[in-house]
Amino acid sequence: MMLKDKARVRFICQNCGYQSLRWLGRCPGCDQWNTLVEEIVQLKESLVKSGSKPQRISEIDSVLEERRTTTCEEFDRILGGGVVSGSLVLIGGEPGIGKSTLLLQISSKFSQKFGRVLYVSGEESLKQMKMRAERLKIGSLEEFFFLAETNFENIKSHMEKLKPSLVVVDSIQIVYNPVLSAAPGSISQVREVTTELMCFAKTLNVPIFIVGHVTKEGTLAGPKVLEHIVDTVLYFEGEKHSSFRILRTVKNRFGSTNEIGIFEMSQEGLGEVRNPSQFFLEERSRDKVGSIVVACLEGSRPLLIEVQALVSPTSFGFPRRTSEGFDYQRLLLLVAVLEKRAGFHIHTQDVFINIAGGVKVEEPAVDLGLILAVISGFKNAPISADTAVFGEVGLGGEVRGVRQAELRIKEAARLGFKKIILPKANASSKLSKRINIFPVETVNQAIELVFK
């Protein structure tokens, strides 16, 4: 087989990205059959200049990264304070959840403040982009350019000519490099184009946003190395039938990875939610069985969410456990603690858990609230609507302390809650005087306090 100069053949697994110099029937990386595909790769000159040498940390100039605000507080929050020049940001989410809508809004605001912006769309035509812009009431901007292109060489040429202050590529799975023989969206194409974009961003000090599709499992399509290449990874969360969206930071080299941004979808696009706790609780009914408010923390932001539990006798020999928005394995653990440490016979009951509003919560501070909600549903006894709780529950039935108790208590007091149940380990903090504090050490103490 004749190859071009500076080219070689390799075989790459389309499932896990494993590379081999010869064809294999079974991939050693993922143990799948017939997944290795032959590719011709054009070798390129090294992008790193020779002559670099190791330096002591005292010899390295400490320069703060330049940040530019997008005038959208929620979006700036999850980025760590604004867009960093020369950064590569990946935004993932299910189709139709609002990725293109948000980036179009951010790009228009960025163009008004910082000048030329290039929006590259490989999935929509220019007419479709104009229709979306008109729906979002984005007027004619002199420095806002659109490009419908999938060939990366052409995209790169336009970026070099325009020298924009921001570039958006929607989406990375559609763009292809003609040097590679692989199909667009394949592992090698996605990785190659992303690497080229990273080099372009660092060389010209231009921030670039790329959109990535997700698989049925909810993870980004393509190899995991895609997340390692970029500087920041953001995930869109939320249900299509719900009006709100959550943008969560998964990776951020320039800020915290625990921040979230909350938006509300409307006909005019995505709007910021300034008071998320009130937004999540506005449809909550008072004194409802199996419902309780938990003070959790997302990054530096306190949130009050409603935990709902439905407990009913099982119709089969094996009781069901279902969780929406909460870790399923954690639910099984907490039900076992109720059985063993608190003496509640839940093994004959089906237990259904839901975090109202479609929020996904991973913080262990929700444990105590979930246990109290399950008991409320089991005993058919409502919990006082002016009560909020938080605390981690251990296997021995003890209630452990959590971080930033003051922020949680202040948020509960701000929304009018009269009492809050919390771990005794957090009772020594500087607590708010506008709310009654009830510290507990064990799950049994909390149960007696709520259902006395």
pLDDT in tens, 259-307: 888 898 888 889 998 888 888 888 888 778 999 999 999 877 899 999 9
CA distance 166 to 145: 11
CA distances, 23 to each of 11, 12, 15, 40, 187 (Å): 6, 9, 15, 13, 17
Please give the DSSP secondary-structure letter assigned to residue 214. Answer: B
Distances (CA, A) of 20 to 17, 40, 71, 195, 313: 10, 12, 47, 20, 55
The answer to whether 155 and 169 are in contact (CB under 8 A) is yes
Cα(15)–Cα(24) distance, rounded to whole angstroms?
A: 14
Asked whether residue 163 carries a pLDDT value surpassing 80, the answer given is: yes
Comparing CA positions, the residue from 217, 218, 214, 252 lying closest to residue 234 is 252
pLDDT one-digit tens code per residue, 56-76: 888 877 666 788 999 899 999
**pLDDT mean over 145-153:** 95
pLDDT > 80? residue 48: no
Q: What is the pTM of this model?
A: 0.78
Buried b (16+ CB within 10 A) or exposed e, 111-126: bbebebbbbbbbeeee
**339-385 per-position pLDDT tens digit:** 999 999 898 999 999 998 778 888 999 999 999 999 999 999 999 99
Q: Which residue reads 């709902």 in tokens?
A: 308
Give 381-402 pLDDT, tens digit per residue. 999 999 999 999 999 999 999 9
252 DSSP β-pair partners: 232
Predicted local distance difference test score (pLDDT) of residue 12 = 80
Quote the CA–CA distance of 449 and 371 in Å, as a whole number: 13
pLDDT at 114: 93
Q: 424 forms bridges with which residues in the sheet?
A: none
